[in-house]
Amino acid sequence: MDKLWDGRFDKPTSALLDGFQSSIPFDQRLLRLDIAGSIAHAIMLGEQGVISGEDALAMVEGLRTLLREVETDTLPVDQGAEDVHMFVEAELTRRIGETGKRLHTGRSRNDQVALDMRMYAKECCGTIADRLRALLSLLLGLSREHVNTFMPGYTHLQKAQPVTLAFHFMAYFQMFSRDLTRFMAAYDEADVMPLGSGALAGTTYPLNRDRVAGLLGFSVVTENSLDAVSDRDFLLSFLSAASICMMHLSRFCEELILWSTHEFGLAVMDDGFATGSSMMPQKKNPDACELIRGKTGRVYGDLVALLTVMKGLPLAYNKDMQEDKEAFFDAFDTLSQCLRVFTEMLRTVVFRKDVLKASAALGFTNATDLADYLVGKGLSFRDAHHIAGLLVALCIRENRALSDLSLEEMRETSPVFNDDIYEAISLEACVNRRRLQGGPAPEAVEESIRRGQAWLDTRPERRRLCGDA
């Protein structure tokens, strides 16, 4: 196949190089967007008188035919093409003749690929935003269901203080809400139209960049053509947000893995999201959680790969930047799939309320409240902390709980103890007293859920987030 740029060359490129540099096997994913960008460019060229109205109409009709074939999966893609941009132009020219060669007037593959990737990044942000909204809605629903489900809170993976399952879920709601904010910011960063930047220094043709931006659903156009063709920060912002989101998924998965063990016994994975062992008949493995945890490293790798590609590049475009696509595509595919699987898996998990509550009562999770009780009787917190520690040590030696101690035993460490200590260190009291904003008391969690729902309701839905792009 002749190259559309081979006029300067005396011999064809090596077949070895052709195969090495071709991006069509992966960038054909951009085919629909590349054609949409070309339609907008052709319309603008005709309106500006850069090409005749007749030529513009022929190109637009030809491109729309190609677009319909893409959407119906009936367009055969030449795998020998150099890239998706050259394929579209060559295919259009084959169909409508010499007029097709005018399509590239006033643009370069440098600003063309930047346009395609920005449109694709916007769509990816919209898809991930949808998936996050579904997960956030599920977390709010689960939280409403478990406002009074007691469980142990941990630090250092050691039981620390009693909380509720709703409180725990709402911690993840905060994490994933920040993720949604990051992807919306990544959308805004991608929502800048680069076409008209040419190879690096713009063009002498009287293009109407704002018109193209409007046709394609962009908010603004780029300010500097040299930066526009060199910039992949918008992809790095997505990859960074994706890496953080995967980290949050991985943490949640790790807890579900632990909770579903016989040792914890706090949760039961649904059979539809677990697998068995080929050797051990009793096994029920949380493979969905483990795969998500493993795929987190893969997305991290995609971020580091693109950061490394970009770290030493001089302005403007360099062929190295072709390596942006596979890393970005992989990260998007991985995150999108993980969010979908995780949300449906979480929806089916059974949380064992009785075991959660029993576990919260063990491990001296009420020791801090015992110390706070003593502070309320006039002791300094440091002295109260020491006394509580002495009583915990006694219980450990005798395999007892703090509530098992008699009032006389407690008074051996401090005379201020009274009968009200038992109510003060009950599971319900320990949780219910922590009613400050952000705390685990049911009233505080219910208010947090209300605020979370109100916040989520104000986030743009995908159809508004992505416009017509």
Catalytic residues: 156, 277
Q: Are 417 and 394 in contact (CB under 8 A)?
A: no
Task: Compute the distance between CA of residue 401 and CA of residue 410 in angstroms, rounded to an integer.
Answer: 12
Q: What six digits make up the tokens of 226?
A: 């040299």
Cβ distance 192 to 232 under 8 Å? no
CA 193 – CA 296 distance, rounded (Å): 31
- Residue 8 contacts residue 14 (beta carbons within 8 Å): no
Which tokens hold the place of 205? Answer: 């043709």
Cα separation, 414 vs 397, in Å, equals 20
Asked if residues 364 and 402 have their Cβ atoms less than 8 Å apart, the reply is yes
126 in Cβ contact with 187 (< 8 Å):
yes
Cis status, amide bond into 199, omega within 30 of 0: no
Distance between start and end Cα atoms, the chain: 32
Token pair 């893969």 in the structure block, residue: 298
Q: Which candidate, 392, 394, 372, 397, places its Cα nearest to that of 383?
A: 372
Q: Distances in Å between the alpha carbon of 251 and those of 185, 244, 246, 289, 384? A: 23, 11, 9, 10, 34
For tokens 């400050």, what's the residue? 436
Query: What does the DSSP assignment read for 74-100?
Result: -----TTSSSHHHHHHHHHHHHHGGGG
CA distances from 401 to 238, 274, 362, 394, 405 (A): 50, 36, 7, 9, 7
Q: Classify residue 225 by burial, with Cβ atoms within 10 Å: 0-12, 13-18, 19+.
A: buried
Residues 6+ apart with CB under 8 A from 305: 323, 327
Beta bridge partners of 193: 221
Give the distance, in angstroms, between the CA of residue 111 and the centroid of all CA atoms in the same chain: 27
Quote the radius of gyration of the chain (alpha carbons, Å): 30
